[in-house]
Amino acid sequence: MKIGIDQMAFATTGKYIDLRELARVRGDEPDKYTIGIGQDRQAVVPPTQDIVTLGAAAADQLMTPTVRQRILTIIVATESGIDNSKASAIYIKHLLGLGDYVRTVELKEACYSATAGLQFARGLVAVNPQELVLVIAADIARYGLATPGEVTQGAGAVAMLVSQNPHVLAFEPTAVSLTKDVMDFWRPLYASEAMVDGKYSTNVYIDFFKQTLTRYQQLTGRQLADFAAVLFHLPFTKMGKKALAAVLGERTDATAQRLRTALAASQVYSRQVGNLYTGSLYLALMSYLQNGTAQPGDRLALFSYGSGAEGELYTGILQPDFKNSLSPVAETLANRQQVTISAYEDDFNQQLGMKSADISFDLTKDPAKFVLAGQQDHQRCYQKR
Ligand code: HMG
DSSP assignment of 151-187? GG-EEEEEEEEEEES-SSEEEEEEEEEEE----SEE-
Q: Do residues 95 and 207 share a domain?
A: no
Average pLDDT, integer, range 175-195: 97
Catalytic residue among 106, 131, 150, 233: 233
Tell me whether 0.95 is exceeded by the ipTM: yes
- Predicted local distance difference test score (pLDDT) of residue 322: 98
| CA angle at 336 for the pair 332 and 340, rounded to the nearest 5° | 155
Specify the number of domains making up the chain. Answer: 2
Q: Do residues 158 and 266 share a domain?
A: no
Q: Do residues 154 and 300 share a domain?
A: no
Split at pLDDT 50, 70, 90, the class of 17 is very high
Q: Do residues 227 and 353 share a domain?
A: no
* Shortest-distance Cα residue to atom 8 of ligand 1: 199
Q: Do residues 40 and 144 share a domain?
A: yes
Please confirm, yes or no, whether 111 is among the known catalytic residues.
yes
Q: Do residues 58 and 119 share a domain?
A: yes
Which ligand 1 atom sits closest to the C-alpha of 110?
A: 57
Nearest-CA neighbor of 286 among 18, 2, 7? 7
Does the pLDDT at position 343 exceed 90? yes
Split at pLDDT 50, 70, 90, the class of 189 is very high
Crossing angle of the two packed helices 280-291 and 113-127, in degrees rounded to 10:
80
Split at pLDDT 50, 70, 90, the class of 353 is confident
Q: 73-132 pLDDT, tens per residue?
A: 999 999 999 999 999 999 999 999 999 999 999 999 999 999 999 999 999 999 999 999
Domain's final residue, options 295, 321, 347: 321
Q: Do residues 193 and 53 share a domain?
A: no
Nearest-CA neighbor of 5 among 107, 121, 102? 121
Contacts of 287 (CB under 8 A, 6+ apart): 265, 266, 267, 268, 269, 270, 329
Cα gap 270→281, rounded to integer Å: 9
Q: Do residues 252 and 347 share a domain?
A: no
The CATH number assigned to the domain holding 247 equals 3.40.47.10
Q: Do residues 345 and 313 share a domain?
A: no
Q: Do residues 251 and 308 share a domain?
A: yes
Cα gap 291→78, rounded to integer Å: 26
Catalytic residue among 106, 109, 111, 150: 111
- Predicted local distance difference test score (pLDDT) of residue 356: 87
Q: Determine if the pTM surpasses 0.95.
A: yes
Does the pLDDT at position 354 exceed 90? no
Split at pLDDT 50, 70, 90, the class of 234 is very high
- Cβ–Cβ < 8 Å for 79, 194: no
Domain's final residue, options 276, 304, 321: 321
Q: 36-64 pLDDT, tens per residue?
A: 999 999 999 999 999 999 999 999 999 99
* Shortest-distance Cα residue to atom 32 of ligand 1: 198
Which ligand 1 atom sits closest to the C-alpha of 306?
A: 56
Centroid of ligand 1 to alpha carbon of 282 (angstroms):
21
Does the pLDDT at position 315 exceed 90? yes
Pairing mode, strands 169-179 and 185-186: unpaired
- Predicted local distance difference test score (pLDDT) of residue 235: 98
Assess whether the previous peptide bond of 87 is cis (omega < 30° from 0): no
Q: Which range of residues forms the domain containing residue 310?
A: 170-321
Domain's final residue, options 321, 338, 357: 321
Crossing angle of the two packed helices 341-350 and 19-26, in degrees rounded to 10:
90
Average pLDDT, integer, range 312-318: 98
Pairing mode, strands 337-338 and 359-360: unpaired
Centroid of ligand 1 to alpha carbon of 138 (angstroms):
22
Centroid of ligand 1 to alpha carbon of 131 (angstroms):
41
Average pLDDT, integer, range 330-347: 98
Nearest-CA neighbor of 267 among 303, 231, 301? 231
Q: 249-301 pLDDT, tens per residue?
A: 999 999 999 999 999 999 999 999 999 999 999 999 999 999 999 999 999 99
Centroid of ligand 1 to alpha carbon of 36 (angstroms):
7
| CA angle at 157 for the pair 156 and 159, rounded to the nearest 5° | 165
Report how far apart, in Å, the C-alpha atoms of 178 and of each of 2, 3, 251 are.
Answer: 25, 23, 27
Please confirm, yes or no, whether 381 is among the known catalytic residues.
no
* Shortest-distance Cα residue to atom 13 of ligand 1: 36
- Predicted local distance difference test score (pLDDT) of residue 227: 98
- Predicted local distance difference test score (pLDDT) of residue 30: 98
Q: Considering the chain, what percentage of its residues have pLDDT values greater than 90?
A: 98
Q: Do residues 276 and 374 share a domain?
A: no
- Predicted local distance difference test score (pLDDT) of residue 78: 98
Ligand 1 mutation target, pool 28, 39, 109, 152, most atoms within 8 A of CB: 152
Q: Considering the chain, what percentage of its residues have pLDDT values greater than 70?
A: 100
Kindly list the protein residues whose Cβ atom lies closer than 6 A to any atom of ligand 1: 29, 31-32, 35-37, 79, 110-111, 148-149, 151-152, 184-185, 196, 198-199, 201-202, 205, 233, 235-236, 239, 275, 277, 305-307
Ligand 1 mutation target, pool 115, 150, 180, 185, most atoms within 8 A of CB: 185
- Predicted local distance difference test score (pLDDT) of residue 153: 98
Cα gap 241→352, rounded to integer Å: 33
Does the pLDDT at position 355 exceed 90? no
Centroid of ligand 1 to alpha carbon of 176 (angstroms):
27
Centroid of ligand 1 to alpha carbon of 170 (angstroms):
33
Centroid of ligand 1 to alpha carbon of 33 (angstroms):
9
Nearest-CA neighbor of 365 among 46, 4, 18, 21? 46
Helical segments of the chain, H only: 19-26, 30-31, 51-60, 65-70, 88-96, 113-127, 198-220, 237-248, 254-267, 270-273, 280-291, 329-334, 341-350
Q: Do residues 7 and 153 share a domain?
A: yes
Average pLDDT, integer, range 126-141: 98
Average model confidence (pLDDT) across the chain: 97
Please confirm, yes or no, whether 79 is among the known catalytic residues.
yes
